[in-house]
Amino acid sequence: MARQSKGNSLEWGIIAILGCVILLGPLLFGAAYPSGFLLLVSLVSLALGLWLVLILTQKRYRLLWPPICWAVLAFMLLALWQYRFAGVSYSAEQELLRIFLYGAVFLLAVNFLHGQEVTQFLSLLLVFLGMLIASYALFQYITHSNTVWQVSKPLQYANRGSGTYICPNHLAGFLEMVLPLGLAYLFAGRLNATFKVFLGYACLVIMAGIGVTMSRGGWLATGISIVTFLLMLLGHRKYRIQAAVALVCLLLGGYFVVDRSEGLKERLNQTLRRDQTQSLTVRPLIWQSSIDMWKDHKWTGVGPGQFDHAFQHYRHPEIQERPGWVHNDFLHLLVEYGMIGGVVLFLGLLLLLNGAWKTRKYVLREGRDFAKNRHSNRAAFVLGGSVSLIAIGVHSFFDFNLYIPANGILAVTLAGVLVSHLRFTTEGYWWKSWWPNRLVTGSIVLLLTAFLVMPLWSRYQEMRLLQRAAAAPAFSTERLEALVDAVAVRSDNYESSYRIGEILLGKGRQFQPGYQEHLEVAIQWFEKSLEGWPAYSYPYTMIGRCLDSLGRNEEATVYYDRAISLDPKNYFVVAYKGLHEVDRGDLSAAHDYFEQSWNLRWYGNFIALHHLRILKQRLGLPPLENPVTGEPYL
């Protein structure tokens, strides 16, 4: 953007909106819930609208378009093209929204967040926001609090600090990107000594916050990023002593903290040993299933947002839940977008690295800023931002941080601001204000805005109705009515239709007068769920259950067999096949299915437990044993 337009009110409005997006996301559970995500989409759409007005009204407007922007545009077009062929359109649309949100934020960051004062202000705000969130995580860890903004976290995250995020790993992902910015401004920034004292304190709190997340991927990413940062400083004469001292203090301090903390030592020991009774982690099992999935869809992948739906066909027996994500951002992208998407991403990363190298040589003035004992806020951001991206890149090999909107937005913002520094190396990346260029620029911004805004209102209406349903008592009429209204807004949401069917099945299974009507209507809702996700095994299972309840056992067999063919290693589906055999009177077959379900998952499998205890006694078989204690269930 031209220097003379810096005071333009539209430009500052866009900068303010982007600042709100970057800072609000972490406070809203990482924008992982629909309410926070849709708010960020709305704000970015507003920023794009102001950008479009700016393009149309400012006569001498210029667009900054480095080469990486072509890769970003190509990936968005690839996602749009693959969306047309997705098997589950509802999930594909959600993924498309996320991709276009990230792409829009990247382009906005390139063109509006390159000012030195703006970059410095936002960076320091992020550092102190990180300090506050890390302090909240320390409070949770010390007090054993298991709530975030009065919302309970899953029990699996107990005794771990998560700050304003639900998952501690995602808090670690946010803090590990913020920490290098704080360290860079602390060592190389042009700030007064008093402010640097507060900045140093903020960095210490952030490091402590990362520690109490108990995220091993976060620890690894933070350790690599800090060592990388200090090694970079060791290359500059002025900072060699400070960097060496900081590195020694870091190693000694880390050893002291781990030695004094039983929780940290136990978490590390879990990484170094393997329990004979269970896998060290489920991630390698998910990765193996994901690789098998990719092998069957090498070039185009399974489609945007389709991994979770395709997983049932590649399920490892030890993974009974729907994992949602691969827990490796790079592998997840390869699975959903195939080799084509992987090549586009690889080219984008190469362009980012190339641009960062060119920018580094110019911004740091061949090292003269450091060598002549001068500090530079611009150099501090380039150094800190580069290390931040290294940190999130390392962590992304073990988690799905980039699929959490707040973290993904921060990562693409840092990348966009780094790329924007290429304007110092050449004037060739500026698009002149000729009308053909303005037409192309306006079209790109208009299409981005349209793709973000079109599904926004229906998603917002559905979200409010689903929140009302969640607040109502289970199996109540209030919940049923709210879900029906939600389906009227978004008929392609297979989960809403399935939940309606569950409620009606529960009413029908009470076998009160008129129960047949409840079961018949439940079948219709399960069939509607299959319209949204044709290969969903659960609706087939529940249709079979409805037919069994209506006495139509032979008809039900077809649906159970279809469910098992779609998800053969799912303990829930197999257990319900056992119930079907009980209804048919084939106790031997029922026993075999319940035992198969029990072997897939014994803990929490009350259906198999209850029926195996009875069937083994009736069939004269040895009693069922507890897999842990070896004692028989009586």
Q: What is the pLDDT of residue 16?
A: 96
214: left (phi over 0), alpha (psi -120 to 50) or beta: left
Cβ proximity of 451 and 458 under 8 Å: no
Percent helix, strand, coil in the chain, to 5, is 75, 0, 25
CA distances from residue 123 to 126, 151, 610 in whole angstroms, order as listed: 5, 29, 58
Q: What is the pLDDT of residue 116?
A: 83
Q: What is the pLDDT of residue 254?
A: 59
Angle at 164 between CA 160 and CA 165, to 5 degrees: 65
How many angstroms separate the most distant Cα atoms in the chain?
A: 89
CA distances from residue 108 to 1, 18, 260 in whole angstroms, order as listed: 11, 8, 46
What's this model's pTM, rounded to 2 decimal places?
Answer: 0.92
Residues in the chain where the model's pLDDT stays below 50:
1-7, 272, 274-280, 366-373
**Topology classification of domain 466-558:** 1.25.40
Angle at 275 between CA 272 and CA 278, to 5 degrees: 125
Q: What is the pLDDT of residue 257?
A: 56
599/254 Cα distance (integer angstroms): 43
**Tell me: the pLDDT tens digits for 436-474?**
778 888 899 999 999 999 999 999 999 999 999 999 998
Distance separating the N- and C-terminal Cα atoms of the chain: 76
Q: What is the pLDDT of residue 4?
A: 42
360/378 Cα distance (integer angstroms): 10
Q: What is the pLDDT of residue 575?
A: 97
591/613 Cα distance (integer angstroms): 10
Q: What is 145-159 written as a DSSP string?
A: --EETTEEPPGGGTT
Cβ proximity of 332 and 323 under 8 Å: no
Q: What is the pLDDT of residue 369?
A: 47
222/213 Cα distance (integer angstroms): 12
Cβ proximity of 217 and 398 under 8 Å: yes
Residue ranges covered by each domain of the chain: 3-453, 466-558, 569-634
Find how far residue 590's CA is from the centre of its chain: 40
3-state SS of 232-255 is: HHHCCHHHHHHHHHHHHHHHHHHH
Q: What is the pLDDT of residue 566?
A: 96
Q: What is the pLDDT of residue 371?
A: 45
